[in-house]
Amino acid sequence: METVWKKFRNGEEKAAIADTIEYIYRNPFLLGYMDFDEDTKSEFLLYMYRIVPKLLQSYNEERSAMRTYIPIAVRLYVKSWRREMAKKLAERIGLIQCYQSENGFEEGLVAGEVEPNYAAKPDMTVLKGISSRHAKEVILILALKSACSLSEDRLRNIAKTIDFEQEQLVEFAKHIQKNKAKKNERRISAVESRNRSYFFKRKYALELGRLQPESAQYQRVAKQLAFQASILGIKNQRLREKHCMNTTVFEIATLLKISPRTVVRRLASVKGKGSD
């Protein structure tokens, strides 16, 4: 960090600022913002880009070393940023109903909301017309599709009924449950990221309405609005396409060591008969 001060003192202000921002970017743990996701981190770094020149101008080398001054100062601004984000959270939450009414979006803005568990109906008539060998695979597949809603005792009873290793089916179910928990964490993060994009889109839209169309500021905000609208669309699409909570065909095929096509065929054989 001492080289940063030398650059700034010698008139190389842009280089000194760039080096300081890079230092902040590379040290999230030291500076206390390691929990920021990529979007929040980007916003924070933009915020710090405006602050760093003031920090460098205020530095007094007689009072402290630069390697001490910068980390302490940045940590204080991290705390300040967190307080500011906390204040904005209430406003963001207030926008939920507005977003739902504007978009009719089928997925709620509450980050913790998840898709319902798959739960096969306990109706053995679905196996009519299916060979005994295929029926065993169908029952296994349906049990794994329903793994998050079946108790261990129920799984063992299913395994016993079809002469399948009981503990193995329980382990398969636990594996699926762990995967679903990971999916849920990723989906929560994706929903929170989508929510932030909507918040910023709304913010820029409101700001644009207060500006004169011929002003330079209007043009800058309009670009920010267009960018956030584009990002919001991409994040909505990703939520629909990549954050399905249900157990996939490929997960089941891998566990049972059969082809994904076989899983699809077995599910198709009972589709419309009481389960899907």
Give the DSSP H or E segment for 151: none
Task: Quote the tokens at residue 234.
Answer: 């991409």
Asked if the model's pLDDT at residue 103 lies above 70, the reply is: no
Reported as a single tens digit per residue, the pLDDT across 204-261 is 887 777 778 788 888 888 888 888 888 888 888 877 776 666 788 888 888 888 888 9
- pLDDT computed for residue 90 by the predictor: 45
Average pLDDT of the residues of the chain: 77
pLDDT confidence of 87, banded at 50, 70, 90? Answer: low
- Name residues whose C-beta falls within 8 Å of residue 191's C-beta, 6 or more positions apart in sequence: 107, 109, 110, 111, 113, 239
Give the Cα separation of 199 and 194 in Å (integer): 9
DSSP alpha helices (H): ranges in 27-151? 28-31, 38-58, 66-94, 96-103, 132-145
- pLDDT computed for residue 244 by the predictor: 65
Least confident of 58-72, 103-117, 151-165, 252-266: 103-117
Asked if the model's pLDDT at residue 160 lies above 60, the reply is: yes
pLDDT confidence of 105, banded at 50, 70, 90? Answer: very low
- pLDDT computed for residue 112 by the predictor: 38
pLDDT confidence of 264, banded at 50, 70, 90? Answer: confident
Reported as a single tens digit per residue, the pLDDT across 1-55 is 778 888 888 888 889 999 999 899 888 878 888 777 777 788 888 889 889 998 8
Asked if the model's pLDDT at residue 196 lies above 70, the reply is: yes
- pLDDT computed for residue 109 by the predictor: 39
Asked if the model's pLDDT at residue 119 lies above 60, the reply is: no
- pLDDT computed for residue 26 by the predictor: 86
Cβ contact 156:173 at 8 Å: no
Percent of the chain with pLDDT over 90: 4
- pLDDT computed for residue 113 by the predictor: 39
